[in-house]
Amino acid sequence: MTASMIKLTDLRKEYGQFAAVKQLNLEVKSGEVFGFLGPNGAGKTTTIKMIVGMMQPTAGSIEIDGIDISKDRDAAKSRIGFIPDRPYIYEKVTGMEFMHFIGGLFRMDPDDIEKRGMELLRLFEIDHVSNELVSGYSHGMRQRLIMASAILHRPRLLVVDEPMVGLDPRGAKLVKKLFRQQADHGTTIFMSTHTLEVAEQVCDRVGIIQHGEIVAMGSIADLKRSAGALEKFEETFLQLTGLSDEQDVTGVVEG
């Protein structure tokens, strides 16, 4: 039986009287590519921030690879690589200096950082700017640098928030291939995305969150069947979240 890499039990996050996440229960297996989908404001990013240890839950528990993050935060976080939706990087360092900074946080050997860091920069096709300041990088190049740094320490879990933001088609294709290869080698991928096509192409299972609660979970095929065997996953998603793809804009256009 495959072990759980992520286990969320009765997870809840409140902001004053508002509950952004409500009694969330979820398990993601080792080596699985799991898509975490939902409309804006559904609770995706809040959940992700709790999983990676950036935010404390109001109630409930989070286990990463069997480790309760509230009891041993460092051990849990050492297993995680995180790719945020916006690549915030200190600009007065070079790409390779940034890799050394990240590797140092995970207590990697400097020689290993140098060797693996260059391999990853080459994989993401930014090795030619490895010694240039990040301030001169385009948004897409920064996103590639963040991705390279996130897998530098060989994490067992890769948490990704909107991975395709800022990437051109070639970069997006590379990332989708990378996710599948990482999963095939045992890494768990937990991915939040608005790009339903990416979820359909890459994910083993998906969970759909709406108003802080999971409203559907399973493979893409399972969810299509539960929604009445709709042909397009986009239609399935809209139905399961109660959203309409037939918004009336006549009044706006004519008025």
Q: Which residues of the chain fall short of a pLDDT of 70?
A: 1-2, 166, 229-231, 243-255
DSSP alpha helices (H): ranges in the chain? 44-51, 73-77, 95-105, 110-123, 139-150, 169-184, 196-202, 220-226, 233-240, 250-254
Q: Encode pLDDT of 49-66 as tens digits.
A: 999 999 999 999 999 999
3-state secondary structure of 158: strand
Q: Does residue 198 lie in a domain region? A: yes
User: Strand 33-37 to strand 59-64: parallel, antiparallel, or no bridges (unpaired)?
Assistant: unpaired
Q: Does residue 227 lie in a domain region? A: yes
State both tokens at 172.
């997006």
Query: Residue type at 41?
Result: G
> For residues 146 and 87, what is the distance between their CA atoms, to the nearest angstrom?
6
Q: Does residue 166 lie in a domain region? A: yes
Q: Does residue 203 lie in a domain region? A: yes
How many domains, the chain?
1
Q: Does residue 228 lie in a domain region? A: yes
Q: Residue 198 maps to which CATH number?
A: 3.40.50.300
- How high is the pLDDT of residue 229? 59
- How high is the pLDDT of residue 255? 46
Q: What is the largest CA-CA distance in the chain?
A: 65
Range of the domain at 9: 4-79+155-254
Q: Does residue 110 lie in a domain region? A: no
Q: Does residue 129 lie in a domain region? A: no
- How high is the pLDDT of residue 231? 63
Q: Encode pLDDT of 119-138 as tens digits.
A: 999 999 999 999 999 999 99
